[in-house]
Amino acid sequence: MKAIIVFYDSLNRRYLPNYEPDCETIAPNFLRLGEHAVTFDQSYVGSMPCMPARRELHTGRHNFLHREWGPLEPFDDSMPEILKKNGVYTHLISDHLHYWEDGGCTYHNRYSSWEIVRGQEGDHWKGCVGDVDIPPVVFTPTKQDGTGVASGWKYDWVNREYIKDEKQFPSSQVFDLGCEFIEKNHKEDNWLLQIETFDPHEPFFSPDKYQDLYPEEYEGKHFDWPRGKVTQSEEEIEHCKHQYRSLVSMCDHHLGRVLDLMDRYDLWKDTMLIVGTDHGFLLSEHGYWGKNQMPYYNEIANTPMFIWDPKHPVKDVHRNSLVQLIDWAPTILDYFNLPIPQDMQGHILSDVITEDKPVREAAIYGVFSGHVNVTDGHYTYMRAALPKRANDIYNYTLMPVYMTRRVPVSQLQEATLQEPFPFTKLCKTLKIPANDKYRVAHFGNLLFDNVNDPGQLQPLHNEEVENQMIQKMIKLMKENDCPSEQYHRLDLEKHLR
């Protein structure tokens, strides 16, 4: 048996015609994929954003209650590594720059082999000591926490000097390599290929041929890297949306190349195909761009996901059961007839695929230090920290690095040893004081009726429903071995039973 993962970053399902037929995005290959696979309508994120999500892809369990962005831990189970150790060849191809930063340093080595493509966003790739030419822009992006200029701003413009033709775009190179792997190995057995592109993550940079698919009369300043609060004019907002659609159309084109090879070599008979993303992206909805600096509305949290499983050959149908990224690892391991490690908390999705049989009552998700969220498919509840307790939080880790730097010595001097959690395999961890990173506590608690208010535009005030969702949240927090201070900072102690 064989398996292919196609993994995008920041893919908003509301810009895919599979989910929103009137979305205006030209994406015939996503529609073609839907005809060959199961489309999941209630797929949700788990731990946000990029590397926390990839830790879930490996480990099949949430991590945002214990730790922020960081590497795989020494005690983590890794799905690709388990496959590798059991005779299944695993290969990663990615232009996701965060893999070669401090905070992503242990992921790619879990595979049998891996290839990287440089140049996405602010990848510190080409050297440029002096200034770089940057055109007049509508907006200079801030860091993800809303402060200062994004660290990759200059580097992105340096990189663009080396990316002119479509074949030079990192995502084009990623799919070139992915297709090369399939061409070379389609007759072989027992392999997993992970084709992973940073697109359509911001900046929404694509060749003219894709932008020409969306004609407009915009004559304003350059604008393809939005973030934070929406302050732009309607014309600028629509232009940026066009840029995003253009990039999604480019993603669609490359997806079609994989589907072509599935057809050419009849890989549908023996190759699982999973297509999805780590999270979505706000494109001016709720008055915001992006993620992290606001609550995780469904434009971010409710993600596109497609699976073709030749062992359960169901296609061209939608499923409504709640699924999450933590389900990918156990589903893939089961597909290769391997046992599921006891610390994985995701579910095998074969019954969802065949008969839409639910695997969970509710799903929990969030970002370290932000809201803790829970949905049962009908309602979504977002629980904020009390502002005065927002900084009452710790990182539990044996890999003390942040996204792009080592944990400062001053913080390590304050660290203590934490007794093992059930999933740390009897290992004690460092307990390092942390801070409220995204400062979203001021939004307060929010309850939405997703059925009657799918845009999550009208917060619901219903004490009975809120209490029901709180209990579902607490149950899942307990199952995830949540640190005790999380209950305190979220003011949940009075609800514990």
Residue 328's pLDDT band (cuts 50, 70, 90): very high
Hey, which bits of 205-244 come out as E strands?
228-229
How far apart CA 214 and CA 274 sit, in angstroms, is 29
Can you give the pLDDT at residue 146?
74
Can you give the pLDDT at residue 142?
82
Record the pTM.
0.97
Residue 388's Cβ-count burial label (10 Å; 0-12, 13-18, 19+) is exposed
One-letter identity of residue 386 = L
Q: Residue 264: enclosing H or E segment and its boundaries?
A: helix 234-264
Q: Is the pLDDT of residue 420 over 90?
A: yes
More confidently predicted of 149 and 243: 243
How far apart CA 172 and CA 178 sit, in angstroms, is 10
How far apart CA 461 and CA 286 sit, in angstroms, is 19
Over residues 84-100, mean pLDDT: 97
Q: Is the pLDDT of residue 424 over 90?
A: yes
Can you give the pLDDT at residue 82?
98
pLDDT in tens, 170-211: 999 999 999 999 999 999 999 999 999 999 999 999 999 999
Can you give the pLDDT at residue 417?
98
Over residues 65-90, mean pLDDT: 98
Can you give the pLDDT at residue 120?
97
Query: Hey, what are 161's tokens?
Result: 């000097």
Can you give the pLDDT at residue 150?
82
How far apart CA 252 and CA 348 sit, in angstroms, is 28
Asked if residues 473 and 490 have their Cβ atoms less than 8 Å apart, the reply is: no
Can you give the pLDDT at residue 282?
98
Q: Which residues of 422-449 are buried (b: 16+ CB within 10 A; e: fewer)?
A: ebbeeeebbbbebebbbbbbeeebbbbb
pLDDT in tens, 104-150: 999 999 999 999 999 999 999 999 999 999 999 998 988 777 788 88
Q: Which stretches of 6-46 are DSSP H helices?
A: 28-36
Indicate the pairing of strand 89-94 with strand 191-196: parallel
Hey, which bits of 146-270 come out as E strands?
191-196, 228-229
One-letter identity of residue 217 = E
Q: Is the pLDDT of residue 291 over 80?
A: yes
Over residues 320-334, mean pLDDT: 98
How far apart CA 348 and CA 195 sit, in angstroms, is 22
Asked if residues 61 and 47 have their Cβ atoms less than 8 Å apart, the reply is: no
First CA to last CA distance, the chain: 46
Mean of pLDDT over the chain = 97
Can you give the pLDDT at residue 94?
98
pLDDT in tens, 334-392: 999 999 999 999 999 999 999 999 999 999 999 999 999 999 999 999 999 999 999 99
Can you give the pLDDT at residue 103?
97
Phi, psi values for residue 132, rounded to 5°: -120, 145
pLDDT in tens, 462-475: 999 999 999 999 99
Query: Hey, what are 415's tokens?
Result: 């660290």
Cβ within 8 Å of residue 331, ≥6 positions away: 274, 307, 346, 347, 348, 349, 350
Residue 497's pLDDT band (cuts 50, 70, 90): confident
Can you give the pLDDT at residue 467?
98
How far apart CA 5 and CA 74 sit, in angstroms, is 24
Phi, psi values for residue 159, rounded to 5°: -60, -35
Can you give the pLDDT at residue 141?
87
Can you give the pLDDT at residue 429?
98
Can you give the pLDDT at residue 138?
95
